[in-house]
Copies of this chain bind each other. A is one copy, B any other.
Amino acid sequence: MIEAPYKLINREYSNAYGETSTHIVKIGPVELGVEEPVFIAGPCAVESRESLFRIAEQVKKAGAHVLRGGVFKPRSSVHSFQGLGSAGNEEAIEALTWLKEAGQAFGMPVVTEVRGEAQVELVSQYVDIIQIGSRNMYDQDLLQAAARKKLPIMFKRHFGASIEEFLCFAEYIAAEGNKDIILCERGIVPVGKGKNFTRYMLDLAAVPVVQKETFLPIIVDPSHATGRRDLIRSMSLASIAAGASGLMIEVHDRPEEALVDASQMISPAELKEIIGVARQLRRIAVK
């Protein structure tokens, strides 16, 4: 009898993956889940065609494999910029087109977030990976709608979720017949009275724990976890040393001008240095 609340993604109930092998998610020419870590980079939000192309070119040169860019932005305040996607249907299509074209221009698959079911159909026509953001982790209807598009899903842990819950909801995606799930740790709510000095608390033990529980690959997003540019390098290296299959990092060529989350953007030059060091670390850390 199967007692675990997640079964389809459970290493123990699978015959194909043994005790340590990882399901490899293929995104065009990119393979995520292999020894070599995958780097996903780009601006928090797509702001303009020009700026996106400029950043895409630079992150590609820095060594990134996948281009990210938010079109529909989840925001805490209704009075903040919600991404071009929320400006209207035409603007959404325009921003998604820029993203797709920037990816093609520089040879990178692209990923963007769907924030609600109504956006799934549209977004799926432009991207190579559909992202489910942290705030939507529990949104089972959205998960199912996105899963049915048969594209790889980048699935971020909710900041209030245990690892068990995270995997239970990944199971919703697998139950639609889609096992191309890229799990993403991005920090949980801070605990304690007083300051912790970071936006969320990065739970890096989630990386090896998830790898023991499931055969799905897991990456880390140090940008949203820390919210601090000056911590991205150390948390990126720690993630790779912990065994993460990749990193998603927010990059802007003019960080101080970014419309969203300016404080956590790093420059393309910093990205390049991190990717270089991270690759060396991986080779040494792998058992």
Judge whether B241 and A168 touch: CB under 8 Å: no
Judge whether B160 and A191 touch: CB under 8 Å: yes
A63: interface (CB < 8 Å): no
Across the interface, A193 reaches (CB within 8 A) one of B75, B192, B200, namely: B200
Per assembly, the copies of the chain total 4
Interface magnitude class on chain A: 35 or more
Q: In the complex, A25 Cα to B270 Cα: how many Å? A: 32
A257: interface (CB < 8 Å): no
A70 to chain B, nearest CB (A): 14
Q: Which of A47-55, A96-104, A114-122 contacts B (4 or more CB under 8 A)?
A: A114-122
| Chain A residues numbered 231-254 whose CB sits less than 8 Å from any CB in chain B | 231, 233-235, 237-243
Chain B neighbourhood of A140, CB < 8 A? 74-75, 78, 82, 115-116
Per-position 1/0 for A186-205, Cβ under 8 A of B: 00111111111111111111
A208 to chain B, nearest CB (A): 4
| Chain A residues numbered 162-208 whose CB sits less than 8 Å from any CB in chain B | 162-165, 168-169, 171-172, 175, 188-205, 207-208
Q: In the complex, A75 Cα to B230 Cα: how many Å? A: 32
A158: interface (CB < 8 Å): yes
Across the interface, A205 reaches (CB within 8 A) one of B77, B138, B198, B213, namely: B198
Per-position 1/0 for A79-114, Cβ under 8 A of B: 100100000000000000000000000000000000
A242 to chain B, nearest CB (A): 4
Q: Which of A27-35, A37-45, A148-156, A278-286 contacts B (4 or more CB under 8 A)?
A: A278-286
Across the interface, A191 reaches (CB within 8 A) one of B7, B168, B191, namely: B191
Judge whether A193 and B159 touch: CB under 8 Å: yes
Q: In the complex, A18 Cα to B89 Cα: how many Å? A: 41
Q: Which of A175, A189, A238, A242 is the most central at the interface, judged by chain B CB atoms within 10 Å of its CB?
A: A238
Q: In the complex, A171 Cα to B80 Cα: how many Å? A: 12
Judge whether A163 and B196 touch: CB under 8 Å: yes
A139: interface (CB < 8 Å): yes
Judge whether B192 and A198 touch: CB under 8 Å: no
Q: In the complex, A287 Cα to B273 Cα: how many Å? A: 10
Q: Which 4 A-B pairs have the closest CB atoms?
A: A160-B160, A116-B141, A162-B192, A164-B194
A-B contacts, 19 listed (Cβ < 8 Å): A5-B76, A115-B139, A117-B118, A119-B141, A139-B142, A158-B160, A162-B193, A162-B195, A163-B192, A163-B197, A165-B192, A188-B191, A189-B193, A204-B235, A205-B225, A205-B235, A207-B234, A238-B238, A281-B285
Given contacts A5-B77, A191-B191, 18 further A-B contacts (CB under 8 A): A74-B140, A76-B194, A115-B141, A118-B145, A139-B139, A159-B193, A162-B191, A164-B194, A164-B197, A165-B192, A189-B192, A201-B201, A205-B226, A238-B238, A238-B239, A240-B241, A241-B281, A281-B285
